[in-house]
Chains A and B, each alone.
Chain A
C-alpha cells in the first residue's frame, strides 16, 4: 500500500510539473463548456417554442441537457485518455528509470496500480471541471442530482477502463507518441464498435457492440446503474492492468 502511494504521488507530481495536466484541463474546460452552452441553448429555445405552441408540459432538463452533456463528455474522454497514459511507462523505458523501479523492493503490480491510480486522479480532476457547468443548472433550475451522480460514476468507470488499456499500451513501446496514438486508435475502436448495432441485429453484432465502452455508458447517462455494465467496466479495468503486468514481466524475459 505504501509503495502504491509512493509511486502514485510521484506520477502526480510529474503530471503537474509539466504543462500536460494544465493543458488537458484547459482543453476540457473549453470543449465541455462549449457543449454545455449548445445543449442549454437548444433546451431554452425548445422550451420557448413549446410554450408558444401552448403545450404546458415543462421539458425535462435531465433528458435535454444532462444526458447529452454526459454523452459528450464520455466521448471527450476518448481524446483525453491517451494523453494521460502515454508517458506512464514509455517515458520510464526511454530514460532508463524503469531500471530504478524494477530493481527497487517494489512489486510490479504496486508500480502498475500506483501509476493507474495517478492517472485516475488526474482524469477525475479534469472531469470535475465540468461540475462547474452543471452547477449553473442548479442556480437557474431544479434538476435532479441523482442521475448526474450516476452519470459521473459511469464516466469514472469508463475512464478507468480506458486508462487501464492505455497503461498497458504504454508498456509496449519506448515512444510516447506511438503509445498515445495506439491508445487513441484503440479507444476509438472501442467506441465505434457500438455503431454496428445500428444496422445489424445478429448475434455477432451484439457481441461486438457489447465490447464497446460507450454502449455500457448509455444506461449510466440515463441515471440507471446496471450490474452488467459495472461488471463489464470492472473486468476491463482488471484485464487491462493484468495485461500490463504480463507485459512488464515479458519485458524482462525479452529485454
Chain B
C-alpha cells in the first residue's frame, strides 16, 4: 500500500531524511519510532504530498507522490503534528468544511459527520468553537478530520500527544479498530505505544532507518536483556546491602547487579539479566528464601536511547542518539 524507496529529503542545511526505504502492506498498522528530530514528520510530509522528496520515490496505493499527487491525496487522511484547526469555527462546521474539501458527496456528509463525532468522542463539543477547546479535544477533532472521508491510508503524526491517560488508551483502541480497512502509519517516540497498537515498527534515528521489524520480534529482542528493579527490606534487622547483592548475583541468568540506593532500611537494586533469560521468578524466590521481604519487583522500561543501543549493538547508534 505504501512503498518508499531511497527517500531523501534535504532542507537548506540539514539532511532530514537520508535514503529511507520501507514498505507497508494493506491493512497494517505501522509505528514510526524515533527520537526528536529523527525525520518522522518530514517522511510523513513527503508521503502526504506536502513536501516533495529531494531524491528517491514514495508511492501510496500505487500512485507516486510526485507524479500523481491528486490520486495520493484522495486516498490519505493526515493528522499533522499540530492539528490543523480554525479556531473561529465550530467543531461541526469545521468537520463539514474538511469533509467537503476531501470530496465527500453532499448526501453522505451528515452521516460521516455523525460517525466520526461518535468515534472520536467529540459529540459533546460539536457546537463549540474550536478555539475554546482543550488541547486533548483539539487533538480528537484533528483525528476526526483525518478519518472523515474514510481514507485507505491514515498518516498520524503523534496522535496521542497531549491526551490524558484515559484518552490515550481510547485513542489507541480507536486506531486499532481502524486498522483492517485502513492502512495506518503513526509516529511516536513512546515505545509502549508501538507495542500496544502496532504490528510492524520502523525505527529511525537521524534520518536513517535503524531497524524494521514486527513488534513481536522487537519486544522479544528487547525482553531478552531485561532490566529489573528489586527493592528489598529486612523482616528482622536490616540486611547488609552487600549480602543481598551477593545473593542476587547468584541467581541463575543474572548478568550484573547494581546497588542503586538505600532508603528507610530498604535497598534498591538494578538487576540486568542475560540475553533470553526471564529472571524475575528466580529473583523473587532468592530474596524470600534468604528471609528478607521483597517490597517491589518490576521491569524497568527501556528508554528510547537504550533501545537504540540494544538494537544496533551499541556504539553505532550511540553516536546517533543525543
Binding site for B on A (CB under 8 A): 2-3, 6-7, 10, 13-14, 17-18, 95-107, 252-255
List the 6 closest pairs (A to B, CB-CB), nearest first. Answer: A100-B84, A17-B88, A97-B84, A105-B73, A103-B48, A105-B74
| Residue contact A6 to B85, C-beta cutoff 8 Å | no
Cα separation A78 to B286 with both chains bound (whole Å): 85
| Residue contact B76 to A96, C-beta cutoff 8 Å | no
Cα separation A107 to B83 with both chains bound (whole Å): 21
Measured CB to CB, the closest approach of chain B to A54, in angstroms, equals 63
Decide: A103 near B73, CB < 8 A? Known: A6-B100, A253-B52, A255-B51. yes
Q: B45-61 toward A: CB 8 Å interface, digit per residue (1/0)?
A: 10011111000000000
Asked if B22 CB lies within 8 Å of chain A CBs, one says no
Taking chain A's interface residues, is the majority helix, strand, or loop, or is none over half, making it mixed? Answer: helix
Cα separation A95 to B81 with both chains bound (whole Å): 11
Residue of A nearest to B86 (CB): A97
Decide: A103 near B50, CB < 8 A? Known: A6-B100, A96-B84. yes
Q: Tell which of B50, B81, B88, B89 touches A102, judged by Cβ atoms closer than 8 Å.
A: B50
Q: Which residues of B contact A101 (CB under 8 A)?
A: 101
Q: Which residues of A contact B81 (CB under 8 A)?
A: 96
14 more contacts with CB within 8 A, not counting A6-B101, A13-B89, A100-B98, are: A2-B100, A6-B100, A95-B86, A96-B80, A96-B84, A97-B84, A99-B45, A99-B78, A103-B49, A103-B50, A105-B102, A252-B51, A252-B52, A255-B51
Cα separation A3 to B99 with both chains bound (whole Å): 11
Cα separation A14 to B131 with both chains bound (whole Å): 13
Measured CB to CB, the closest approach of chain A to B101, in angstroms, equals 5
Residue of B nearest to A14 (CB): B88
Cα separation A17 to B49 with both chains bound (whole Å): 31
| Residue contact B50 to A105, C-beta cutoff 8 Å | no
Decide: A99 near B101, CB < 8 A? Known: A17-B89, A252-B50. no
**Range for the number of chain B residues in contact with chain A:** 20 to 34
Cα separation A95 to B98 with both chains bound (whole Å): 16
Asked if B110 CB lies within 8 Å of chain A CBs, one says no
Measured CB to CB, the closest approach of chain B to A90, in angstroms, equals 14
Residue of B nearest to A7 (CB): B101
Q: Which residues of B contact A14 (CB under 8 A)?
A: 86, 88-89
| Residue contact B78 to A6, C-beta cutoff 8 Å | no
Taking chain B's interface residues, is the majority helix, strand, or loop, or is none over half, making it mixed? Answer: loop
Q: Tell which of A18, A103, A253 touches B88, judged by Cβ atoms closer than 8 Å.
A: A18
Residue of A nearest to B129 (CB): A17
| Residue contact A95 to B84, C-beta cutoff 8 Å | yes
Q: Which residues of B contact A106 (CB under 8 A)?
A: 101
Q: Which residues of A contact B89 (CB under 8 A)?
A: 13-14, 17
Cα separation A86 to B190 with both chains bound (whole Å): 40
Cα separation A183 to B89 with both chains bound (whole Å): 27
Cα separation A13 to B98 with both chains bound (whole Å): 14
Cα separation A255 to B41 with both chains bound (whole Å): 13
Q: Which residues of A contact B101 (CB under 8 A)?
A: 3, 6-7, 100-101, 104-106
Cα separation A99 to B78 with both chains bound (whole Å): 9
Q: Which residues of B contact A95 (CB under 8 A)?
A: 84-87
Measured CB to CB, the closest approach of chain B to A105, in angstroms, equals 4
Q: Which residues of B contact A18 (CB under 8 A)?
A: 88
Asked if B82 CB lies within 8 Å of chain A CBs, one says yes
Measured CB to CB, the closest approach of chain A to B10, in angstroms, equals 11
| Residue contact A6 to B97, C-beta cutoff 8 Å | yes
Please, could you name 15 A-B residue pairs with CB atoms under 8 Å apart, sorted by A?
A: A14-B86, A14-B88, A95-B85, A96-B82, A96-B83, A99-B50, A99-B78, A100-B98, A100-B145, A101-B101, A103-B50, A104-B98, A104-B101, A105-B70, A255-B11
Decide: A103 near B78, CB < 8 A? Known: A6-B97, A10-B97, A255-B51. yes
Q: Which residues of A contact B80 (CB under 8 A)?
A: 96, 99-100
Q: Which residues of B contact A17 (CB under 8 A)?
A: 88-89
Q: Which residues of A contact B74 (CB under 8 A)?
A: 105
| Residue contact A104 to B102, C-beta cutoff 8 Å | yes
Q: Which residues of A contact B118 (CB under 8 A)?
A: none
Q: Which residues of B contact A103 (CB under 8 A)?
A: 48-50, 73, 76, 78
Q: Which residues of B contact A253 (CB under 8 A)?
A: 52
Cα separation A99 to B50 with both chains bound (whole Å): 7
Q: Which residues of B contact A252 (CB under 8 A)?
A: 50-52
Q: Which residues of B contact A107 (CB under 8 A)?
A: 70
Cα separation A2 to B45 with both chains bound (whole Å): 26
Q: B87-118 toward A: CB 8 Å interface, digit per residue (1/0)?
A: 11100010001101111000000000000000
Cα separation A196 to B123 with both chains bound (whole Å): 62
Measured CB to CB, the closest approach of chain B to A109, in angstroms, equals 13
Q: Which residues of A contact B102 (CB under 8 A)?
A: 104-105
Measured CB to CB, the closest approach of chain A to B105, in angstroms, equals 11
Cα separation A103 to B101 with both chains bound (whole Å): 10
Residue of B nearest to A5 (CB): B100
Measured CB to CB, the closest approach of chain B to A164, in angstroms, equals 23
Of listed A2, A98, A100, A107, residue having the most chain B CB within 10 A: A100
